[in-house]
Chains A and B, each alone.
Chain A
Amino acid sequence: MQACRSAIDVAMARVAHQVNRVVTTVPGGYDMALLFAASRAGLSLLVSRSEHGAALIGLGLAWETGRPSLVIVITSPGVYGALQALHAASVNRVPLVLLSGETSLPGSVQCGDGLDGPSATRVTSPLCAWSADVSRAESLPGALSRAVRMASEMERPIHLNVPVHVAGAEVLA
């Protein structure tokens, strides 16, 4: 019988060897599942003092190595803090993968932070080769693999917005 693991654990395990070992992050209520999974996958967490800084450090890591960097932040305000680095990565062709932890409030994927604001991915989509809300746990491993592959091949930033309940749901490993 095949074992079940959380969707984000399966996703991280798939990409851990394809990205820079250092993952930059600002922890918060909605992204803890993402960064714990990164740690369990053998990646090293660097906690910066702002999302602006986290994304820029990730940009530097990716520029130096040519490999995608994972940056983990919370939804809306965290994502907005990373916008400058997303722009720099977009126009200067640096592979950056931004993962944002979204709330699990009803309709959160469509309504951003649950406060009836726009989804964070609508803000990042003009800057990213792919910007998507992941609404099903079964889709998360494939989506993250695709994100890392696209960032690497296209040398562009990618943004995935992942609700807490999607990240934590169990899927077949």
Chain B
Amino acid sequence: VRRRRWNRDVMEAARILEGAAAPAILVGPGARRAMDLIAGLARRLKAPVLTTPDAKSMFDEAHPHSAGVFSFAAPARARAVVAASDVILAIGTNLGEFASGGGKAFENKTVLHFGEDPGDISIGIPVTVAVVGDLAATVRTLFRAIARIPSGEPWFARVDAAPAHGAQPSAGSEIARSTGISPGEAVRAITDALPSKARLACDVTSAALHVLHNMTLGPDQRLWLQIEKSACMGSALGTGLGIRLASDLATVVLIGDWGLMMGQSELHTAASLGIGRFVVVVWSNAGGALIRTGVRAQGLDVPSETHTWTAPRFAWVARGYGLRSLTIRSTRALRRSLAVALRAPFPVLIDAIIDPDAPIPGAEARYVHLDTSTRSR
């Protein structure tokens, strides 16, 4: 009975996708073993592929069918593609808060949801067809069931990438107000410095939102970012060290000043191992910018002392642990120093002083109440 129901549901999904004018595929981390099949499905449907924040880098962002990461801190094009779509095929994601725009991004759309675990299927978003089972088998069966293939150019090629809603940070305004490196520029500097084969472990920090918004990764660059489900601050240092050891590739740990203080003892492990091509970039912006933003997004006042402080001098801290380190206050110096450090035969910590007042992508539109008197310096 279960097998018949599974087959019936996959056929129903195929029928809906055949009739869709603008289908889009949203991929979460649970789909990692089915990515080749999903790429084939996207070509067959002429559909764009978006990834959830936790699945960024699972699909080559230079691929012609890539539409980027959705939804938290999503670039304008990704938001425009989702806004213009009529059917969303969500695969391997639980459509959590960050993957679904707080549950509102797919209103008035037909949602098809494929997962391997019944617990993955969204209960907060109306789903037209839900299929639970092995994702590779499900996608393969769906591919074979789709008989009618759209002709002409892919529909998403015509989508205008203009911002759909909400204010986005502009580089000009950031520079004008800057008391440190512009976050957007810092992420672009990191992107430029990353080798074509590399790993990035990004902590739960406001830097993550800039990464989601501004960074395009190549096919051999993988990002570890677990902001959607576990959201464990301070986890990127240890995890990044493990990734560096297993991959033997140049690895950047991008971690906030608060996050680093939650688990900085592993700096000593890195120093003791003497492991090269391992760089910790501290996103030093004077406290919990992401938490501050999230609390404000709930319409709550944020006393400055709860999430804002003078950041420690991490270059000194790192030296105490035995690491080479430096403090960086300009984009150019960050790009240059990181490129050098990623070739060094020893671990390096870069304390990057980031403008604490710079806007955070994806956050402004969610503000309910903003008390500017409590903002950090």
Contact = CB atoms under 8 A, between A and B. Distances in A.
The answer to whether A and B interact is yes
Given A48-B238, A88-B235, A61 B226 contact: no
Main SS class of interface, B:
helix
Interface of A: 20, 22, 24, 46-50, 52-65, 69, 84-85, 87-88, 91-93
> DSSP majority for the A interface?
helix
Given A87-B232, A92-B229, A63 B243 contact: yes
Contact of A60 (B29, B54, B242, B263): B242
A84 B230 CA distance: 8
A20 B247 CA distance: 12
Contacts, number: 101
Contacts of A64: 199, 222, 242-243, 246-247
Given A56-B237, A56-B239, A63-B242, A49 B232 contact: no
Query: Which 10 A-B pairs rank lowest in CB-CB distance, beginning with the nearest?
Result: A60-B242, A56-B238, A64-B246, A60-B239, A49-B265, A88-B230, A91-B229, A57-B242, A53-B266, A61-B242
Interface string B260-277: 000101101100010000
Interface of B: 29-30, 54, 199, 201, 222, 224, 226, 229-230, 232, 235, 237-247, 263, 265-266, 268-269, 273
Given A53-B266, A64-B246, A84-B232, A59 B238 contact: yes
A57 B54 contact: no
A52 B238 contact: yes
Contact of A53 (B222, B230, B263): B263
Given A49-B268, A52-B263, A88-B230, A65 B235 contact: no
Most buried by B among A57, A61, A91: A57
A61 B29 contact: no
8 contacts: A49-B268, A53-B269, A58-B242, A60-B224, A85-B235, A92-B230, A93-B29, A93-B30
B269 A61 contact: no
Contacts of B245: 22, 46, 57, 60-61
A93 B273 CA distance: 28
Contact of B238 (A57, A62, A87): A57
A92 B239 CA distance: 13
